[in-house]
Structure 1
Amino acid sequence: SLLLSSLSPPLSPYVLSPSLLLSLLLLLMFSLSFSLLSLLLSLLSPGKTTEEVVKQYLQKVRIAPEENCTICMEALGGASGYKGGDFIGRLAQCGHQYHLQCLVAMYNNGNKDGSLQCPTCKTIYGVKTGNQPPGKMEYHVIPHSLPGHHDCKTIRIIYNVLPGTQGPEHPNPGKPFTARGFPRHCYLPDSEKGRKVLRLLLTAWDRRLVFSVGTSSTTGELDTVIWNEVHHKTEFGSNLTGHGYPDPSHLDNVLDELKAQGITEEEEQ
């Protein structure tokens, strides 16, 4: 009997009672029912149409002004150059007026992220996002100063983006893209204004606005990761390439470029 008991598997201390089994079964059924209900509701409640997205930023114009739509270059009093319909809208903040269908066509040619940018004055409605590929942004302070900023240390930003495959938001979905020159090191003075620029760059990164996929302006390479209209200083200690310091206007220029992307200190607060 000693031999048999040593060979027999011990009884599990986790024997479930019938009531506990029933409770677990009911919980599982509830979870599945809730998941199915959520899926059904998502199917029955589709997102906004393109026209609805655009219209939320517009005020309807009753009497057409005697001027042309600057998107299609046709008279605002007539039909859009893209397709029928005589709805004319005035953008609520800046007041510029366009055919609704022209704005819809413009929106469909962009990222379709729920935001709209006035083609005349660049005012952004909603939160603009980009098509920056996945990657990593890190930063730290180094105990050295930049030319022209001898009174403070230096913030070093490190961007790293790997090559991959283009998504539906990119120029050539399904095709591979390259990522040259990564990791990229960039520099800011560790001053009050430099830290402000850093905070806004972190927001730009989160909104996928620092990089894009397109054609390199320096090499002409297609389908590669490129800077997205926000300039960075990549040279430390000198300015031999024009991408270093001293540059007294650099921080203000970057703030203006970020503002053009809809990123400001006021918007962050």
Structure 2
Amino acid sequence: DCIICMERLSCPSVYEVPPECSASLQPSADGSLQCPSCKTIYGEKTGTQPKGKMEIYSIAKPLPGHPDCGTIQIIYSIPPGIQGPEHPNPGQPYTCRGFPRYCFLPDNDKGKKVLELLKVAWTRRLIFTVGTSSTTGEPNTVIWNEIHHKTEMLTNVSGHGYPDANYLDNVLSELASQGVTEDCLKVDAHTSAM
């Protein structure tokens, strides 16, 4: 039976859905199909991140808590612009306070996996969005979008630095909640091998 309307499902195909349920299964605003029961994302979620640039560098110096490896530095650059139809106030300008943004990962196996997944999230426009800053209250500005980053390399004054033994696992969970998992890397590797 359908978990939404409780009607008997007459066909196993997900495309033949009772009419009263079809509204619940339409693609969401983020471009994905999400099960209303388990919240699993089916399809590829895309966000509303404005255009910009993601650069990656290696630094020999280790991060606190990761003495056995160097550091991966990510630099995100997004210029100010005009909001598109996917943003809160289409046609209005948006600002980009604090850019470029510098972020850091340990240059070990798990850090490299997180980096590859962040590249997928960047391509899918999931890392930033346009909204109201929770820090300053400024509206119509580029803000983080539910995927936490470490923005302090050698200190942890703001809580966005190292050491943080749980960070890599936490960010992997946040990426997965956006539909960005290791399966995405396997698909990309398979596609590029063809």
TM-score (norm: length of structure 2) = 0.85
In structure 2, the CA distance between the partners of 1:90 and 1:201, relative to structure 1 (3 Å rule), is farther
Change in 2 beyond 3 A, CA 1:91/1:219: farther
Partner of 2:35: 118
* Alignment CA distance shift 1:127-1:240 (3 Å): same
Are positions 1:237 and 2:154 aligned together? Answer: yes
Who is 1:265 aligned against?
Answer: 182
- The structure with the largest helix share of the pair is 1
Runs of 4+ in 1 over 4 A off after TM superposition: 87-92
Paired residues of 2:24 and 2:36 also in contact (CA < 8 A):
no
Give the fraction of aligned pairs with identical amino acids, expressed as a percent: 59
Q: CA deviation at 1:77?
A: 5.4
Alignment-derived partner of residue 191 in structure 1: 108
- 2:24 counterpart of 1:102: yes
Partners of 1:100 and 1:225 lie apart in 2 by 34
**Which one-letter code corresponds to 1:238 in the other structure?**
T
Q: Is the 8 A contact 1:230 1:258 kept in 2?
A: yes
**RMSD across aligned positions (CA):** 2.3
Give the Å deviation of 1:246: 0.5
Instruction: Report 1:175-254 matches (<5 A).
Output: 175-254=92-171
> TM-score scaled by structure 1?
0.62
Gaps of 5+ in 1: 1-60, 70-75, 79-86, 93-97
> What SS does the corresponding residue of 2:172 show, helix, strand or coil?
helix
> Gaps spanning 5+ residues in structure 2: where?
15-19, 187-194
Distance 1:174 1:151, change over 3 A: same
1:118-162 Cα distance to aligned partner (Å, 9 max, x none): 244321111111010000000110110100001000000000001
Q: Work out which of the two has the higher radius of gyration on C-alpha atoms and give 1 or 2.
A: 1
Q: C-alpha separation between the residues in 2 aligned to 1:242 and 1:89? A: 51
Aligned length: 180
